Amino acid sequence: MIIDEEKESELVESPSRRSFLGASSAALAAAAFVGLTANAQQRDDTHKAESDHSSSNPGPENMPLLAENPNSNTPPPTDHGDIGPIWYSFDLARNRMQEGGWAHQVTQRELPPSTDLAGVTMRLTRGSFRELHWHTADEWAIMLNGNARVTVLNPDGTMFIDDVTKGDLWFFPAGYPHSIQGLGPGDGCEFLLVFDEGMFSEDNTFLISAWLAHTPPEILTKNSNLDRSAIGRLPKDELYIFPAKLPGSLEQDRAAVGGKSVESLIRYTFKMSAIAPTVKTAGGEVRIVDSHNFPASKSIAAALVTLKPGGIRELHWHPNASEWQFYLAGKGRMTVFMPPTRARTMDFNANDVGYVPPVAGHYIENTGNTDLVFLEMFKADQYMDFSMNNWIRRLPPEMVTAHLNIDEATIRKIPAEKQVVIAG
């Protein structure tokens, strides 16, 4: 990993300067009424440690990793205690590579607090399949690059077939057999899969090839009218990912399986790029997709967030689920707050995974000079959040003054409505 000059300079800067330069006006306003408790890491002690040799490390250091995570090695003075891991990266995960593509996974094994959701990034070259299979968990997906064809069978025998491209979603319920195939005109595709089981493993799915390989030949003959020569040509082991020829057109495939007479009434794909942003401000935009606008997605809700440089995803929390994040582009940092006085700050880059415990307070800030783009994922049928600003402004002013020691004029400077994303 190469450390560019910008990252190297951030590494050697004191956190006090870094914190000042990275603080948005909203974050500074929040700091006015979020104080440190008596037993927290002391701000003065931290500044003293920064200015002398206390924070130095004369032993070996992984400089590339430190450059990616400056707020973990030298946390801001507002951090306190331990809330467990909130960061991992697909770039650290084992790569299962086969002819036709590859797969990385981040599950509860890699990120232990994440009991609700697990994720897989997968690549399929042009024509290659993620073979016919099903699994124990619901599957939500977003196309990151390229094009693919997906199929899923309903219990009533109807079939759904569709083509997806960058930004499109799909949702396959647990137990529903499905497939994914990379298409042209480029060299296939890459996508993120999210499963509603923390311990889900891509290495433990129900594969049609493996099932047939482990079924007695006489049963295959009775069940499917396969003769000895046909059984001899069946795969002897799992395929998982494998190369194949490109299919015909979408219309040809739909016609080949029976056309309208067997067409699924349920749509399992969603064109997210076709919908207008749910929220759009000077600080960025948010697209929310849950069972309200994507009815098939009954167990996973999501938000695609874009933050402009310096912008923040406002101080908030989610009442109905933990949050599993995937960072698509840019550079940011997040602080997660847990009771009674615990707080942890981490830095995030493209291909990283973030985690927020259920109902924990947090924010995300764009600390780079390009857009920060990330997904918020929840094991829930609908997206919900609470805004700290909105809460404060819905309270009687004297109640806020009693709690936070700020006067009514100052209170009225706080945004009254939920902002979601705020400009820096």
At residue 59 the predicted structure's pLDDT band, cuts being 50, 70 and 90, is confident
Q: d(Cα 155, Cα 140) in Å, to the nearest integer?
A: 19
CB 323 within 8 A of CB 377: yes
At residue 45 the predicted structure's pLDDT band, cuts being 50, 70 and 90, is low
CB 86 within 8 A of CB 344: yes
**Of these residues, 376, 398, 408, 417, which one is catalytic?**
376
- HSE-CB for 78 with a 13 A CA cutoff: 20
How do residues 332-342 score in pLDDT, each as one tens digit? 999 999 999 99
Look up tokens 């002013």; give the residue: 397
- The continuous run of DSSP H or E covering 112 comes out as none
CB 125 within 8 A of CB 188: yes
- 285 classed as catalytic: no
Residues 6+ apart with CB under 8 A from 172: 138, 139, 152, 178, 268
pLDDT for 43: 52
At residue 72 the predicted structure's pLDDT band, cuts being 50, 70 and 90, is confident
**What does pTM read for this prediction?**
0.87
Structure tokens that stand for 424 in this block:
């820096």
Identify any residues that bridge with 103 across adjacent strands, giving them in sequence order.
96, 122
pLDDT at 193 over 70: yes
| Nearest residue to 397 via CA among 388, 406, 387 | 406
pLDDT at 27 over 70: no
Residues 6+ apart with CB under 8 A from 271: 167, 168
Share of the chain above pLDDT 90, in %: 82
Q: d(Cα 93, Cα 112) in Å, to the nearest integer?
A: 14
Question: Which value, in Å, is the radius of gyration of the alpha carbons in the chain?
Answer: 25
What single-letter DSSP state applies at residue 290?
A: S
pLDDT for 339: 97
How do residues 272-320 score in pLDDT, each as one tens digit? 989 999 999 999 999 999 999 999 999 999 999 999 999 999 999 999 9
How do residues 349-401 score in pLDDT, each as one tens digit? 999 999 999 999 999 999 999 999 999 999 999 999 999 999 999 999 999 99
Q: d(Cα 316, Cα 87) in Å, to the nearest integer?
A: 19
pLDDT at 200 over 90: yes
